[in-house]
Amino acid sequence: MDLRELYRDVILDHNRRPRNFGRLEPQGAGGEVRHADGHNPLCGDRLTVYVRMNGERLEDIRFEGSGCAISTAAASLMTEAVKGKDRAAIERLFDEVHTVLTHHDAEPGAALGKLAALSGVREFPARVKCATLSWHTLNAALERGAATVSTE
């Protein structure tokens, strides 16, 4: 099995069985849940990202919505990668993912783990917005809460 086939399998798996899918409900005292809505009008992707913070650490994250296979898989992979991390680590991951998606000569580093599966998306520039929608929506939820993001 070559690397492209492995990446394709990871994306298909996360599209068929997205991880952390569904609404995140508040949990007792101090259980504030922030959320943001994202929309990619070019593809029709719509999602909501929910986050629960514990100080600077992302304690829990979930998403819901509908979209293309890349959008759904990217959101699923993102939630697995960022859960439990602090804001600085999340920002570094976003920067790495964005670089891999937008620079054809960028090699996915080991720190990306399964997120490296998204690197094949850069061969289809119109689909990069599908792969980054969840990340932009996460950033809006972390920064502002109850925000709306559009990738127009």
pLDDT in tens, 83-115: 999 999 999 999 999 999 999 889 988 889 999
**How many Å apart are CA 130 and CA 123, to the nearest integer?**
13
Q: Residue-wise over 117-129: b if at least 16 C-beta within 10 A, else e?
A: bbbbbbeeeebbb
**Closest CA relative to residue 45, chosen from 21, 17, 75, 18:** 75
pTM score of the predicted model: 0.91
The pLDDT tens digits for 18-46 are: 999 999 988 766 668 999 999 999 899 99
